[in-house]
C-alpha cells in the first residue's frame, strides 16, 4: 500500500507538495528547508515528521541510501544562467538543482520528482532543462517532464508547473505516469465559499480609487481613457496584453496564478466583488490548503510562503501517480 512508501522532501517550503503527497498516501522520512518561517510552518503542521532546519549544502543523505522510495524537490533554478557549455553532473554544480541531484545520487530512490516554473522549459534556449536531464542520465536515471495545468487538477487557479520525473534505470519497463486532466474546473466562487475571515493587506487609497472602476473579469482597459494613461505610465505604450494590470478577477473562473506579493501593480489579483487583495485564508484556499493549515511569520511572510507553494491538490494528483508507478515496480519484483 502507498502508506508504506517513503519520501524525502527537499526545499519543502510551507508544505504544499508534502501535504499533497501525504494525502495521496506517501509518508515523509525527512523534510529539508532553510527558511525560518517555512520551518516553523512545517514543524507546526507536520508534528510527526522529521523537519531538518539546515542549508541543504551542509546535509549528507548517505544514511538514507536504499531506505527511501522517492526524493521530491521544488528546487530553485539559480546558477543555470550559463548552462549548456558543458552538459552533465559537473555543469550543475553551483546550482541548487545540483543538491537535488546529489541527494538522489546518495540515496538511490526508485523515483525522483522535480518541480519548477513552466519557464524552465525554455530557459537559456532549452539548455538548462537539457543539463537537468543529462545530469539524471549520468547518475543512473531515465527522465522525462511535462507541464501540468493545475486548473484541470482540482485547483481553482490557472497555475502551470513543470514536473520532472526520473526512474532508476535498473527498474526497466516501468512507465512514466502523469496525472490526467479533468473535464471540469473549480471556480473562485466555489473555492471561496464560507472561507474563514482572516488578515489581509490593503490597497493604497490611489489604487483603491482605480480598482473601484474595474468590473469583475476586467483590467486597465476598462478604465476611462485618461486614467488608463495616467495609471499605466510607460506601460501604456508597451505591446502585449498587460491584462494583469488593474485586474479584477471573476467569480466564474479559476484565479490567475497567485504571486508572493498580493498587491503588485503589474500583477493585480483583485477580489471579484470587493476592492481588496485576497486575504491569507483566501490565498490558502486558492492553493488548496485546508483551513486549519497554519502559516508562521508576519503577514507578508505568510503571503510569500503560500504564493511560492505547489498547490496541495496538484501535489496529491502527482503523489497518486508516483504511488501507481511504485506499485508497478513492486509487481515487477514479484
**One of 14, 77, 219, 255 is an active-site residue; which one?**
77
34: its cell numbers = 532553510
Confidence at residue 80, expressed as pLDDT on a 0 to 100 scale: 57
Map grid coordinates 502507498 to a residue.
Answer: 2
Name all domains of the chain by residue range, CATH numbers in brackets: 2-182+310-329 (3.40.50.150), 188-308 (3.90.120.10)
Q: Which of 209, 208, 205, 311 is nearest to 255 (CA)?
A: 311
Confidence at residue 84, expressed as pLDDT on a 0 to 100 scale: 45
pLDDT digits (tens, 9 = 90+) for 238-265: 666 577 788 999 999 999 999 998 887 6
Whole-angstrom distance, CA of residue 166 vs CA of residue 174: 11
Confidence at residue 334, expressed as pLDDT on a 0 to 100 scale: 58
Strands 160-168 and 111-117: antiparallel
Rg (CA), the chain: 21
Query: Distance between alpha carbon 263 and the CA centroid of its chain, in Å?
Result: 20
With beta carbons less than 8 A apart as the criterion, state whether 158 and 186 touch: no
Active-site residue flag, 77: yes
Confidence at residue 128, expressed as pLDDT on a 0 to 100 scale: 87
| Ranges under pLDDT 70 in the chain | 1-3, 77-94, 235, 237-241, 265, 333-334
pLDDT digits (tens, 9 = 90+) for 129-177: 998 999 999 999 999 999 999 999 999 999 999 999 999 999 988 999 9
Confidence at residue 245, expressed as pLDDT on a 0 to 100 scale: 84
Whole-angstrom distance, CA of residue 32 vs CA of residue 209: 44
Whole-angstrom distance, CA of residue 321 vs CA of residue 286: 23
Whole-angstrom distance, CA of residue 248 vs CA of residue 263: 12
Amino acid at each position: 500500500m502507498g502508506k508504506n512508501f517513503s519520501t524525502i522532501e527537499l526545499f519543502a517550503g510551507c508544505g504544499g507538495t508534502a501535504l499533497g503527497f501525504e494525502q495521496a498516501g506517501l509518508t515523509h522520512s525527512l523534510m529539508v528547508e532553510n527558511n525560518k518561517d517555512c520551518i516553523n510552518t512545517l514543524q507546526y503542521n507536520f508534528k510527526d515528521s522529521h523537519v531538518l532546519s539546515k542549508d541543504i549544502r551542509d546535509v549528507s543523505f548517505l544514511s538514507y541510501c536504499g531506505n527511501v522510495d522517492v526524493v521530491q524537490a521544488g528546487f530553485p533554478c539559480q546558477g543555470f544562467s550559463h548552462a549548456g557549455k558543458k552538459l552533465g553532473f559537473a555543469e550543475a554544480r553551483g546550482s541548487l538543482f545540483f543538491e537535488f541531484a546529489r541527494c538522489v545520487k546518495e540515496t538511490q530512490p526508485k523515483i525522483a520528482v522535480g518541480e519548477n516554473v513552466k519557464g524552465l522549459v525554455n530557459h537559456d534556449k532549452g539548455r538548462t532543462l537539457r543539463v537537468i536531464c543529462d545530469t539524471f542520465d549520468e547518475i543512473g536515471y531515465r527522465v522525462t517532464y511535462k507541464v501540468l495545468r493545475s486548473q484541470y487538477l482540482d485547483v481553482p487557479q490557472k497555475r502551470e508547473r513543470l514536473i520532472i520525473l526520473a526512474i532508476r534505470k535498473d527498474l526497466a519497463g516501468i512507465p512514466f505516469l502523469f496525472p490526467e486532466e479533468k473535464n471540469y474546473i473549480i471556480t473562485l466562487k466555489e473555492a471561496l465559499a464560507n472561507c474563514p475571515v482572516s488578515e489581509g493587506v490593503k490597497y493604497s487609497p490611489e489604487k483603491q480609487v482605480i480598482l473601484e472602476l474595474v468590473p469583475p473579469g476586467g483590467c486597465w482597459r476598462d478604465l476611462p481613457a485618461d486614467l488608463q494613461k495616467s495609471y499605466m505610465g510607460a506601460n501604456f505604450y508597451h505591446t502585449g496584453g498587460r491584462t494583469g494590470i488593474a485586474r479584477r478577477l471573476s467569480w466564474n473562473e479559476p484565479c490567475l496564478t497567485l504571486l508572493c506579493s498580493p498587491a503588485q501593480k503589474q500583477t493585480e489579483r483583485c477580489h471579484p466583488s470587493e476592492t481588496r487583495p485576497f486575504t491569507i485564508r483566501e490565498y490558502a484556499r486558492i492553493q488548496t490548503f485546508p483551513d486549519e493549515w497554519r502559516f508562521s511569520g508576519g503577514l507578508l511572510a505568510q503571503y510569500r510562503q503560500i504564493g511560492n507553494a505547489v498547490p496541495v491538490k496538484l501535489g496529491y494528483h502527482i503523489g497518486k501517480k508516483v504511488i501507481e508507478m511504485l506499485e508497478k515496480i513492486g509487481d515487477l519484483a514479484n
